[in-house]
Amino acid sequence: MRAPAVQGTYFDGLSARAHPVTLVLEDSLEINGRDLRLAWPLADLAAGDTARPLMRIGPAGHGARVEFTDGALAAALEERCPDLYRTDPSASGGRLRLVLWSIAAGISVIGLAIYGVPAIAVRLAPVVPAAIEARLGGAVDGQIGKILGDPPVCDDAPARAVLDRLIERMTADAGLPVDPAITVRRHAVANALTLPGGRVVVLSDLIDQSRTPDEFAGVLAHEFGHVAAHDPMRALLAASGSSFLLSLVLGDLTGSTIIVAVGQAAISAGYSREAENAADSYSVEFMRRSGGDATALATILERIAKDEDKDDGKAEFASLLRSHPFTTERATRIRAMAGTETVGRRILDETEWATLKGICRNVPPKTAK
């Protein structure tokens, strides 16, 4: 009898794009997705450092990996792969860097006690190594899914191709610290969440509620501004305080306390007024450079502000996106920065926009939890 298929996510190790796949454990680990058929020998598999229920595995010494949360598959792999938790030989060359980083983290813990969390967060966030940010981003993705009710990934091929071209166009020569990895998930809440390591989770109702491609792109560019400023990392440090720094010293970078803190910080979108204004400025510049309407973010924010005033139970936007503060003030500031020369531009044509709006066409509707 063939083993049951398990849903997972595949990363090729060359780009940050997530590919929905099914996993079947037979004599090898079979990985099947759109235009993807792989069979990884069990003897070659190695597990990454994650927080359960998230499991990350791939061939030892290669960048490709899959992530999943099925406990039965994790237990079966642990039983059949005795070297699953082998030490990565490539890590030996980084031991000195790890020691130095641990010393720095220890000093930061002392500084935290003396100067307080916010000041430490501002200074430390930009210098957290990219590898650590990436590990946190991958681990917290599972926590975000649990908080939101495990929304499925939307990856209709033609729509995904439009989105990838849009992201490439917007981020070309942008000088971002990492290439953003965008995942769209089916959910009846309009929002976009930025995680450490350049991961951005778009909830599909944001695309549904955007009346033009530029409104959606304006919000996306705003999230890229948070990536540029390391705001998710800063929010993590502020939310978890000394717990994060102690985890660095002890090596527990994906402990439950940290992951929950990151997840809650991402959901609340509790950035400061200065951080939101800086991300808005990025959005205006991104849209202007990309050939879009730089005022579109203001347009959607103004609609959100009107939505906040409704008391008839028919609000167009759900509560998460409205958690962003001082909406009307931000919209006014954005219009002042953007001017009028870009009004009427469209970052996508009507055909591309219609295609992108169907990115969840093959995924059943998912209601908000």
Asked whether the predicted pLDDT for residue 57 surpasses 80, the reply is yes
What is the 3-class SS of 19-50, one letter each residue? EEEEEEECCEEEEEECCEEEEEEHHHEEECCC
The whole-angstrom separation of Cα 295 and Cα 220 is: 14
Task: State residue 99's pLDDT score.
Answer: 52
Mean pLDDT of 53-66: 86
Angle, vertex CA 54, rays to CA 224 and CA 18, nearest 5? 40
Asked whether the predicted pLDDT for residue 315 surpasses 80, the reply is no
Q: Do 25 and 2 touch, CB atoms closer than 8 A?
A: no
* Residues in contact with 303: Cβ distance below 8 Å, sequence separation at least 6, in sequence order: 316, 317
* Residues in contact with 329: Cβ distance below 8 Å, sequence separation at least 6, in sequence order: none
Task: State residue 301's pLDDT score.
Answer: 86
Cβ count within 10 A of residue 175:
6
Reading phi first (left if > 0) and then psi (alpha if -120 to 50, else beta), residue 17 is in: beta
Asked whether the predicted pLDDT for residue 350 surpasses 90, the reply is yes
Using CA atoms, how far residue 107 sits from 120, 249, 252, 354, in Å, is 11, 10, 17, 53
Mean pLDDT of 351-356: 97
Beta-strand relationship, 181-185 and 36-41: unpaired
Cβ count within 10 A of residue 165:
13
Q: In this structure, what token pair is assigned to residue 365? A: 């509707």
Task: State residue 146's pLDDT score.
Answer: 77
Topology (CATH) of 6-86: PH-domain like (2.30.29)
Task: State residue 274's pLDDT score.
Answer: 84
Nearest to 271 by CA among 309, 306, 237, 313: 237
- Residue, of 138 and 162, whose pLDDT is higher: 162
The whole-angstrom separation of Cα 121 and Cα 125 is: 6
The model's pLDDT over 164-215, given as tens digits with 9 standing for 90+, comes to: 999 999 998 888 888 899 999 999 888 888 888 889 999 999 999 999 999 9
The whole-angstrom separation of Cα 128 and Cα 181 is: 19
Task: State residue 276's pLDDT score.
Answer: 87
The model's pLDDT over 264-313, given as tens digits with 9 standing for 90+, comes to: 555 554 677 888 889 999 999 999 999 999 999 999 988 876 765 555 54
Which of 96-100, 149-153, 173-177, 184-188 is predicted with the least confidence, judged by mean pLDDT? 96-100
Please tell me whether residue 319 adopts helix, strand or coil conformation: coil
Q: Do 222 and 215 touch, CB atoms closer than 8 A?
A: no
DSSP 362: T
The model's pLDDT over 241-276, given as tens digits with 9 standing for 90+, comes to: 545 554 544 444 444 445 555 555 555 546 778 888
